[in-house]
Amino acid sequence: MDRAWDELATAEGIARRATWDTTGKILGDDAAVVPDPGAPLTICADALVEGIHFDLRYWTPTQIGSKAVTVNISDLAAMAAQPLWVLSTIAAPKHFDVDRLLEGIEAGAARYGARLIGGDLTRAETVVISVTAIGSQLLPPLRRSGALPDDTVFVTGPLGLASVALERLSGAMIVDERTRLALLDPSARLNEGFAASRAGASAAIDISDGFALDLHRLANASGVGFEISHLPVAEGATRRDALGGGEDYELLFTAPDPSRVAEEFAKLGIKPPLMVGTVLADPEQRALEGEPLDPIGYRH
């Protein structure tokens, strides 16, 4: 590890790994200079902390790096923004394999068309990875606050598998590959965000903290209620996993016209989203299959 650490022990170390050489890009300086994207910018930052978001017993550094990028790209996806650049600061003990972590960050960024352009590396007793993702807002941004009565509620895929993986891995139980990767290597629903925006979606949020909690957040921001008629539970997961397990990086969105939604998803050749319910005018009405639904979920 010493070699990797020494090579990477300055901000330049991270910047030097950035392979992008488009005109205007400056590497190895105090900061990176990138060309004017010519559109509004969409920007978010999220950190992953050892012992809170990941456990080094069953995560590889590469997976941690890739996921640190994915959780941020998922936020851009929920806005329908095109990822451009990623920066990362890394705090880690000397024995930690920073080189693999950076490979994961680079691979994670490349997967969504973005590039690592800078960052910082420093020592710490536990691993803390912070990623900032910057995107270009070419499509109308999806907000949390736009849901209107009678809109249909969509979710981009079945939920709960990441939660099953977390329970099983932390209990040292056997877990199949598909379930394990739902937690360790999720995908951000970038194309789904684009399709939702093109389909005139009225609001969106990523379901990283749990379906119930994030649905309530969207409803709070929009001042509406909802009736969920169908909870999309992943095969192998329980209703509780799907409702409040968290770590599912699917998108939840609302849209007035389901046929336009089907059309735009088909155009991008991606799986159609699941229709799970309806937006209600009364913000007090928040139900799942006729029963009141509490905002259970994962608060770090």
Question: Which residue stretch of 36-44, 100-108, 167-175, 288-296 sits at the interface with a second copy (rule: CB under 8 A)?
Answer: 36-44
Residue 155 Cβ vs a second copy, minimum distance, rounded to whole Å: 15
262 is an interface residue for a second copy by CB under 8 A? no
Q: Which of 62, 66, 130, 222 binds a second copy (CB under 8 A)?
A: 130
| Shortest separation between residue 135's beta carbon and a second copy, angstroms | 7
Report whether 119 belongs to an annotated binding site. Answer: yes
Q: Which is nearer to a second copy, 89 or 179 (CB)?
A: 89
CA distance linking residue 269 with residue 253, whole number of Å: 19
The smaller minimum CB distance to a second copy, of residues 69 and 128, is found at 128
Nearest to 78 by CA among 298, 250, 272: 250
- Between residues 126 and 285, which has the closer beta carbon with respect to a second copy? 126
Q: Residue 291 burial (CB < 10 Å; 0-12/13-18/19+)?
A: exposed
Q: Which of 20-28, 226-234, 260-268, 272-280 is the region at the interface with a second copy (rule: CB under 8 A)?
A: 20-28
Which tokens sit at 58? Answer: 């069953």
d(CA 89, CA 300): 20
Crossing angle for the helix pair 190-198 and 258-267, nearest 10 degrees?
Answer: 130
What are the residue ranges of helices labelled H in 155-251? 161-170, 177-184, 190-198, 211-222, 239-244
Query: Does 47 engage in binding with a second copy (CB under 8 A)?
Result: yes
Q: How far is the CB of 31 from a second copy (least distance, A)?
A: 4
Asked if residue 23 lies in contact with residue 35, where contact means CB atoms within 8 angstroms, the answer is yes
The answer to the question of whether 208 is labelled as a binding residue is yes
d(CA 73, CA 109): 8
Which of these ranges, 69-77, 98-106, 176-184, 267-275, lies near a second copy under the rule CB under 8 A?
Answer: 69-77
**Binding test (CB under 8 A) with a second copy, winner from 119, 245, 246, 273:** 119
Q: Per the annotation, does 75 bind a ligand? A: yes
Cα-Cα-Cα-Cα dihedral sign, residues 32, 35, 37, 40: positive
Closer to a second copy by CB, 121 or 233: give it.
121
Which of 290, 275, 294 is CA-nearest to residue 215?
Answer: 294
Contact residue for a second copy among 122, 170, 240, 289 (CB under 8 A): 122
Nearby residues of 128 by Cβ (< 8 Å), 6 or more positions away? 47, 48, 49, 50, 90, 91, 92
Query: What are the residues binding a second copy (CB under 8 A)?
Result: 9-12, 24, 26, 28-47, 49, 51-53, 74-76, 78-79, 81, 85, 87-91, 117-120, 122-126, 128, 130, 132-135, 137, 141, 143-145, 204-206, 209, 217, 221, 299-300
Numbered residues of the known binding site for substrate: 53, 247
